[in-house]
Amino acid sequence: MMHTLFWILPEVWLSTIIFLLLALDLKWGEEKHPLMGLIAIAGMLPLFPILFLLAKEGGSHELFSGMFRVDTMALFFKGIFTVSGIVALVLAREFGKAVDRAHGEFYLLFLIAVLGMFLAASSANFLMLFISLELVAITLYVLVSYLHTNLQSLESGLKYLVLGSLSSALFLYGIAFIYGTTGSLHFETIHAMSLRAQTLPAGLVFGILLVLAGILFKAAVVPFQIWAPDVYQGAPTPVTAFLSVGSKALAFLVALRILQELFLPFSMAWNSVLVFASGATILYGNLCAIPQTNIKRFMAYSSIGHAGYLLMGITAGVDIGSAAVSYYLLGYLFTNLVLFLVITAVTLQTGSDEIKSFAGLSKRSPFLAAAMFIGLLSLAGVPPMAGFFGKFLLVLSALSQGYLTLAIIGAVAVVISLYYYLRVVQTLYADEPVDATPIKIGTTMKMSIVACLIGIFVLGIWQYPFLAISIRSIQHIF
């Protein structure tokens, strides 16, 4: 039996790295120090064995009088946050070479956001959850507007700040209503009450819906998706990558926790809303992605579409649906990261985010073009890539709950998405490059791309072990 404090080792380790970087940043001052990024990345790596050890131990463990809980789902999501954090740092290092303002604090902020996500994953109390989410949100506000001489970055930062604060307020207001009707902020207590409940108090429904609005905002789901394209486009690319993966995973983690774990007995209060939101989001994201000419904006709409798919799994809440959410997120993680790695490599060279600037990439760098091709196909859900099996599970789970229309919308959207993804592929392979100079990439970038590609194929071909992990990850919910 391990000491209870052992369970917060990942958070403690991460905080240590953060303080180390803070000290180093003070010491090294304004100059860009090449070691800073490397220390941040290397500091993240030990998290994998730690998380693995904890997952092997298994079980659900409460600390700090029930504020903090470590279960398999928390560990699973911490793994996702770690991967997205590492890749974001790799991108940030690459990005830092090209812009004048990228000092230690850029890395530091990423690490703090990851810490916030870790805490949120283990929150077992609404207050704790709110504080961790705010920790993430505030670091992200800074990160989005990091390029403070760039008007677009500032604009998107401001937009994110205003709308994000609004959603936080809604979330908090919802918590107040939940507290008002249940008399507790503690997940265990609320869960026990919802199991015993005979009636559905109106105040609680209102509270749940408000909390839901807060989550849907973070996940960029219709009707709270308006911010995403502008913010994705304006933010520095590493931040966009982190938003599209880490932040999205966080939103769905919270959705699984609150909706599936706490309020499943009240599913009639939120399920029809989610079914509608899911269908609308899938259609909105996929249709709006068609006319995009800017690759980051394009990725924003595509990620809205994927949020719709993930929501499908939450509405079809029985075990296979929730496991599908975990699986889909895992596949989406590697896929989106590959794409952002390629996008960063190309845009840093060409200095433009326009899709046009990717023309003839297959001649400039066959490796990057192939990676992007595979990534786009995986997003579209083509086998044998990761995206396929995730979508397959989601459609299966939606059908098993009798949501035929939703499943058909999801299936039709696959065709729509294939259209716009393949148009990018056409640009990569069939168009002539404007400038045929080969694109060179560094070793860390190349290694990250290869690692993510391996992830995509392994998840797409050898599904069983990962499906088993996904199923284990949701065991403590029910």
Kindly tell me which of 42 and 468 has the beta carbon lying closer to other proteins.
468
Q: Give the footprint of other proteins on residues 232-291 (CB under 8 A).
A: none
Kindly tell me which of 214 and 321 has the beta carbon lying closer to other proteins.
321
* Residue 377 in contact with other proteins, rule: CB under 8 A: yes
Q: What does the radius of gyration of the chain's CA atoms come to, in whole angstroms?
A: 21
* Residue 399 in contact with other proteins, rule: CB under 8 A: yes
Kindly tell me which of 179 and 429 has the beta carbon lying closer to other proteins.
429
| Distance from the Cα of residue 141 to its chain's centroid | 16
Q: Which of 221, 376, 371 is closest to 283 using CA atoms?
A: 221
Number of H helices, E strands in the chain: 21, 2
The interface region with other proteins, picked from 107-115, 289-297, 304-312, 381-389 by CB under 8 A, is 381-389
Q: How far apart are CA 187 and CA 360, in angstroms?
A: 53
Site string for other proteins, 311-350 (x = CB under 8 A): ----------------------------------------
Residue from 400, 440, 450, 478 binding other proteins (CB under 8 A): 400
Q: How far apart are CA 33 and CA 10, in angstroms?
A: 26
Kindly tell me which of 142 and 408 has the beta carbon lying closer to other proteins.
408
* Residue 411 in contact with other proteins, rule: CB under 8 A: yes
* Residues in a beta bridge with 354: 294
Residue 341 and residue 442 in contact, taking contact as beta carbons nearer than 8 Å:
no
Q: Which residue has the tokens 């798919």?
A: 309
19: CB partners within 8 A, 6+ apart: none
The interface region with other proteins, picked from 163-171, 270-278, 282-290, 463-471 by CB under 8 A, is 463-471
* Residue 469 in contact with other proteins, rule: CB under 8 A: no
Q: How far apart are CA 372 and CA 361, in angstroms?
A: 10
In the complex, the smallest distance separating the C-beta of residue 110 from other proteins, rounded to whole angstroms, is 34
453: CB partners within 8 A, 6+ apart: 334, 338, 371, 374
Residue from 205, 396, 458, 469 binding other proteins (CB under 8 A): 396
Q: Which of 367, 375, 346 is closest to 358 using CA atoms?
A: 346
Kindly tell me which of 50 and 323 has the beta carbon lying closer to other proteins.
323
Helix (H) or strand (E) holding 156: helix 151-182
Kindly tell me which of 12 and 468 has the beta carbon lying closer to other proteins.
468
Helix (H) or strand (E) holding 453: helix 443-461
Residue from 23, 290, 426, 442 binding other proteins (CB under 8 A): 426
- Residue ranges binding other proteins (CB under 8 A): 362, 366, 377, 382-384, 388, 392, 395-396, 399-400, 404, 407-408, 411-412, 414-415, 418-419, 422-423, 425-426, 429-430, 463-464, 467-468, 471
